[in-house]
Structure 1
Amino acid sequence: MAKKSFQGDAGPSQRQLRVGEVIRRALSEVLMRGDLHDPDLNRMSITVGEVRTSPDLRIATAYVLPLGGKGKEDVLKLLSNNTYELRRIIGKKLGLKHTPELRFQLDRTYDQMDETRRLLDDERVRRDVGAPDGDEG
């Protein structure tokens, strides 16, 4: 049996998915409870939609969005300023041998859903999708 490569279209391993989900839950809990020393960050409600880890589990990228979508850039800045404290807290919570380096990006999933919805509501698309059954060749 050939060993699966992490290059190309292989996708994340079960281990990557599992560790990413554990980190996502821990990060969500820390942000929700306000366990940080930064009062500005503790005042914000932040959704952690997904955490993706690198194949070697050394880097974890968290996709975040402030509640209501306002202050996106502020959230990224505040999270980046508190990366080391977040990493330390998550490392303690999870008991991982090596806690991954945390990186933060905006979660664009909701923007993509809105764009898809807008495209599907377009009259031309609805006309093409809703063609009567008798018109098919």
Structure 2
Amino acid sequence: MSIRANRVAEQIKKEMGELIGQKLKDPRIGFVTVTDVDVTGDLQQAKVYITVFGDDKEKQDTLVGLAKANGFLRSEIGRRIRLRKTPEITFEFDEAYEYGNRIERILRDLNE
């Protein structure tokens, strides 16, 4: 990823965290943490990785709520970052945290 794409990704991560936490009032959206953002080199696509506190149903409800708010989030990101063309945004669960927690649990169990 280019330096510019990296900077744009970091800016989107910061702004997206603020927007989801403060501006979205959808009751389906639970406690969301934006963990990472990947932006393509041409700045046309942005993949936002999130973790959601709760069970599988709450996670799926959150994904549906974020998909519904995608237009609003994209326009807000475009307004705040001022790019010529705002990237298309997709949301995905960040499996790395759960994977890391699972490994940590296994290691803890082995030590006991």
The answer, yes or no, to whether TM exceeds 0.5 is yes
**After superposition, where does 1:1-137 map in structure 2 within 5 Å?**
12-34=1-23, 36=24, 38-41=25-28, 44-66=30-52, 68-70=53-55, 71-121=58-108, 123=110
Unaligned runs of 5+ in 1: 1-11, 127-137
The farther-off stretch of 83-92 and 13-22 is 13-22
Unaligned runs of 5+ in 2: none
Counterpart AA for 2:99: Q
Counterpart AA for 1:104: F
Q: How far is 1:119 from its partner?
A: 4.1
Q: How far is 1:122 from its partner?
A: 5.9
Aligned pairs, how many? Answer: 109
Answer 1 or 2: higher relative contact order, Cα 8 Å, separation at least 6. 2
TM-score by length of 2: 0.84
Percent of matched pairs sharing the same residue = 31
Instruction: Tell me the C-alpha RMSD between the 2 structures.
Output: 1.9
Higher strand share: 2
* Partners of 2:97 and 2:54 in 1: CA distance: 10
* Partners of 2:26 and 2:98 in 1: CA distance: 28
Larger radius of gyration: 1
Residue 27 of structure 2 aligns to a residue in which SS?
Answer: helix
